[in-house]
Structures are given as C-alpha cells and as structure tokens.
Amino acid sequence: MVLDRRMLEALGIDDVDQLFSDVPDEVRIDGLPLPTGKSEMEVIIKVRDMLAQNTTVEQVPSFLGGGIYNHFIPSAVKAIAGRSEFLTSYTPYQAEISQGMLQALFEYQSMMSELTAMDVVNSSNYDGATALGEAATMCHRISPKSAFMVPSAMNWEKRSVLKNYIDGVGMSVIEYCYDPYTGGMDMDDVRSKMTSDVCGIYAEVPNLFGIIDPNVTKLKKEFPEVPLVVGVNPLSLALVRPPGEYGADIVIGEGQPLGISMSFGGPLLGIFACRSEHVRKMPGRLIGMTKDHDGRRAFCMTLQTREQHIRRSKATSNICSNEALMAVTASAYLGIVGAKGLRSLARLNMKNAKLLMDRLDPLDGFMAPMFDGAHFNEFVVRTPLHPVKLNKLLLRHGIIGGMPMHTHVPRMTEHMLMTATELTTMKDIDKLVIALQEVTQ
C-alpha cells in the first residue's frame, strides 16, 4: 500500500525512513525474506486447500473425548458470538461504552455460578489445565503450605501444566491412587497421604475414566481445613450435584463442552469459581454489577487491585488476555439450551455412552467398562490391540477411535477411553462395531 504523502508532508519529511532514524544501523535488517503479499482470493484458496487435508468429525464418526468433546452447537450461538461489536472489542476498560460485553460476562459469571453452586466465577482462564494451575497456587495463598494432592489418574497434560504453575511458589504434588474396581478415589490412600503440609486437594467429577465418583462428597467432611478444588465437566453438572453443595472452595473446569468448537484444541475456556470468602485471592478478571451516576444499572470490572496492571509482581496472577469471547459463547449456549435443554443433552450423552458400552463389551477381546462406577459420557475399554495401532486401523475404515490411555496412566497399555455425545448415532456405533470385528480378527 502506498504511504499517504500528505502526512509525510505535514511532518516535513520526504522519506518515511526518517521516522526510523533512531534505529541504529547495527541492528537494522533489510526487509523480511518472506514471500510477497497475496490477494484475499489467493489466501483463502491456499489456506482452505491446506486445511482440507484434515479429516473432520463431520466426515467420519469419532469416539474421542478426554476433555474436548464433539457437541452440537446451535446455529444461534455462532451468530451471537460472531457479532463484530463483541469480536473486535478489547478488554472493557472503558465501562460506559462496553456495557454489552460487561453484561454478557456478568451473565457468564452468573450462569457458571448457578451450574457450580459457587458464588464467584471469574470471567475466564485460558483452559481447564491452566485453571488447575492457578487453583493450586490460590490454595497456597489460602493456606500457605507446600503440597497439593491430585489423582494419579489425571490427564498428563494437566499434570505437566500444574507442575509449571506450582514450581514458582515452591509447591510439590502428592498423588493419590484410584480404586481399581470402581475407578473412583481410593479413600484409604487419600487418608494415608494427607499430612499437615497439604494446602489443597484436587478431585475430578467426572474423573479421567469418566466416572461420577461419590467419594468426592466425603473430602470436605473428613478434611474440613483443607481447601477442596473440584474439576468438572460443566455439561455433567446439569444432572450431577454441583461442587458448591459439598463444600468445594474452588471449582475449575474446561468450558469447551458449552457450545465452543473443538478447533484442534483451542481457543478453549477455563472455568474458575470460588467461594466469596476467597475472592481477593482469586486470579483473573471479575465483572461486578453497579450503577451509573444517574442511578441506572451498570456493570464494570472490579477488584482490579488483584491484577497485574495494578499490583505487578504481587498480583494474584499474570493473566491479562483471557478467553472472554469463549465465555460469551458459553453463556449464549446456556441461554439457548436452558436448564431443560442442558439436562436433556446430559441425559442423551449418558444414554449414548451406555449404548456404546453395551455394544463393545461383548466383542472378542474387549471389556467395557473397565470400572464399575457410574459413567458420564465416556468410559475405559480394554482392547485386544494396542490402542494406537487400533486407531490407525480404524482410521482406514473411516473411523476416529478413542483416546489411548497409556500416556496418562502408563500401566493402561491396552486401554482406550471411548466417548459418546448427543451427536453419536446408532449408525456410527454399528459402523464402529463392524470395523472392530474386522480389524481384530
């Protein structure tokens, strides 16, 4: 694009390079060795063709889950989240001209607070894994001790992220085992590992194995002084008792199931909720209801003194950019499906997972589920072939198989996590069963 000569003239210069006279020769480069620019048409064709190499879950049935799920997204959700007034705005520092975003985020906080039965929800973290990391360091601020208890059966990525978040404050992790029959927490192991050095305990509902573990309700009763962090799949909370009702101090989770596309793993939505008494120790942005100077209802960012732009190295977190648009997406989704729709969808997920389970179990060499706890929308199945190999064979039959378990629980070398959602059809399951029979013969 040609530079606007009028501005150069107004500045009394004839070469734009004069505006860079303060950049020393020693550090200068001569342009960027990238290809020259392209037209919009060329860009769209090139990128579209490149991406066309991807196989999508619209083209073939998929049984993958493990934290990211293929759910139906009502068309209106995309229409709302695509409004460019939301999409192209920045963090709502200027409340008066940003009421739309602020109210939408307040409503997100509110809906998530209803789902989790917690008073306070921030307006988003990056994803479930970083929310866990922030929850652990927040426990350390609530109770300045150094150990954080987590299940040994946890997505390894979360474990790795957690380690990076807690290292800086000198915390370490204690892992408790799962019960090999139910797949829930081994409460005896939790009791034996609980020491006075523990600043928080983390449990997931559903857990890595897809199990709705009732033991989680015992934690606050048995260890009332230890901050309890519960990780949730928000969709399951339509039917499952919310953590706020059994004493959770902090609730975190991955919000992607609430109307957010999988998009190869991002952007996602980190849910972060806590009890009112901990609010000043919480990371992330908070939107509060207030009034304007004429007494009308209004919304603005509040408790900013916790945040990095005010508190700098003493802030509760470094988070600045978050996932605000994903939060708006999730609340638009919850608004459209409503309480009734969300409960129906959760039931459909459970029902389809049960159908899938019942079809896989009788197959030669398969056992489903591995654990006898109650499952939400996924379960562990034992496979006669190594799951990675099995998945490659399934892909040749036009099927995306489940998630291999060994990367998360090393001893589970012949185990796969199979997931169903409301989008899983009988036809998909039939196709899977036929393919499995063929490839394992």
Shortest CB 110 distance to other proteins, Å: 4
Q: Is residue 19 within the footprint of other proteins (CB under 8 A)?
A: yes
Residue with tokens 């989790």: 116
Q: Beta strands 250-254 and 228-232: pairing type? A: parallel
Residue 120 contacts residue 113 (beta carbons within 8 Å): yes
Q: Residues 404 to 433: which contact other proteins by CB under 8 A?
A: 422
DSSP assignment string, 170-225? T-EEEEEPBPTTT-SB-HHHHHHH--TTEEEEEEEES-TTSB--TTHHHHHHH-TT
The token pair that represents 208 in the structure block: 């890595």
**Residue 293: other Cβ atoms inside 10 A:** 7
HEC sequence for 103-152:
HHHHHHHHHHHHHHCCCEECCCECCHHHHHHHHHHHHHHHCCCCEEEEEC
Shortest CB 272 distance to other proteins, Å: 12
Q: Residues 152 to 171: which contact other proteins by CB under 8 A?
A: 155, 157-158, 160-161, 163-165, 167-170
Please identify, among the stretches 141-149, 219-227, 310-318, 357-365, the one whose residues bind other proteins according to the rule CB under 8 A.
310-318
Please identify, among the stretches 43-51, 140-148, 172-180, 359-367, the one whose residues bind other proteins according to the rule CB under 8 A.
43-51
Q: Which of 136, 232, 258, 345 binds other proteins (CB under 8 A)?
A: 345
Q: Give the 3-state secondary structure of residue 342.
A: helix
Please identify, among the stretches 117-125, 141-149, 186-194, 356-364, the one whose residues bind other proteins according to the rule CB under 8 A.
117-125
Q: Give the 3-state secondary structure of residue 270.
A: strand
Binding track, positions 178-217, relative to other proteins; x by CB under 8 A: ---------------------------x------x-x--x
Q: Is residue 259 within the footprint of other proteins (CB under 8 A)?
A: no
The token pair that represents 262 in the structure block: 């999988």
Q: Is residue 361 within the footprint of other proteins (CB under 8 A)?
A: no
Q: Which is nearer to other proteins, 34 or 196 (CB)?
A: 34
Shortest CB 143 distance to other proteins, Å: 19
Shortest CB 390 distance to other proteins, Å: 11
Q: Which of 221, 224, 294, 410 binds other proteins (CB under 8 A)?
A: 294
Q: Which of 207, 233, 331, 421 binds other proteins (CB under 8 A)?
A: 331
For 107, half-sphere exposure in the C-beta direction (CA atoms, 13 angstrom radius) is 17
Shortest CB 362 distance to other proteins, Å: 19
